[in-house]
Structure 1
Amino acid sequence: MKKTVITIISIILGIALVFSLAMLIRNYIVPVLTIANSQKNVQETFLCSSESPEGKFNLEAYRTEPGATVDYSVRVYMINGNQKEIIYNAYHESEAKIDWVDNTTVSINGKTLDMSSGETYDWRKE
């Protein structure tokens, strides 16, 4: 009887450990490695663009299409001529809502960025 209880507890703990490791890998390790290793190969779908009230800043938002094993993310670029700089990179998002608070402050999906100071948001640096 005692041996059976110990065996059942061992099986339950083993299943819990495997499940925990699987969730860790799925939610943290795979996205970071996939995005880090394939930054240039990730397909992006245009979502929207937005210009600051005075026209100083022009933003373009894209949803990344990384594949079956990684969730969507949203990237917002500041466009300066032919150059694009990522100012917003958020994982587990598929839409972009861009609202200008004033001429230099923008809210992207609820995150507020001061464009005049070069502020950016990247979920990997939280």
Structure 2
Amino acid sequence: MKRLYIVFLIAAIFVSMFCLFSGCSFVQEDLLLTTKSPNNAYTVEAYKTNGGATVDYSIKVYLINNNNKLLIYDKYHDYDADIKWINNDIIYINGITLDLSKGETYDWRKDES
């Protein structure tokens, strides 16, 4: 019985770490807001993700294009989406500025600051 418990615990840790660092398809995403650029060229949707009891909330923002979603912002330990358009191409998301015309994205796992 102890071995089964240890195997289950190791598996749970492995799945949690995998989910944290590579993303999970079973993570619940709740739509927070949808916004368009001033010239209506870009549409973005912000979601709050909930991975369950072992993973903290995060914010994901997708650029919507022809019903395709491109992840442009992914930040762990975020709880809300503060989004402002600087101009037609530049968007401010929770302290991060992205130029969508240049294809800029933000992923907390790749942040070197």
- State the TM-score, normalizing by the size of structure 1: 0.72
More strand by share: 2
Q: Post-superposition shift, 1:33?
A: 2.2
Q: Give 1:80's aligned residue.
A: 65
Is residue 2:41 matched to residue 1:67?
no
Q: 2:63, 2:23 → 1: CA distance? A: 21
Q: Give 2:7's aligned residue.
A: none
Q: 2:107, 2:25 → 1: CA distance? A: 17
In the TM superposition, what whole-angstrom CA distance separates every residue of 1:42-98 from its partner, at most 9, and x where no partner exists? Answer: 110110011000000000000001000110000000001110010000000010011
- State the TM-score, normalizing by the size of structure 2: 0.80
Q: 2:37 aligns with which of 35, 39, 52?
A: 52
C-alpha change, 1:76 and 1:32, in structure 2 (3 Å) is farther
Q: 1:114 aligns with which of 91, 99, 103?
A: 99
Q: Give 2:109's aligned residue.
A: 124
Q: 2:16, 2:86 → 1: CA distance? A: 31
C-alpha change, 1:116 and 1:31, in structure 2 (3 Å) is farther
Question: Percent sequence identity over matched residues?
Answer: 48
Q: In 2, are the aligned partners of 1:47 and 1:63 still within 8 Å (CA)?
A: yes
Secondary structure at 1:41's aligned position in 2? coil
Q: Structure 1: any 5+ residue segments left out of the alignment?
A: 1-28
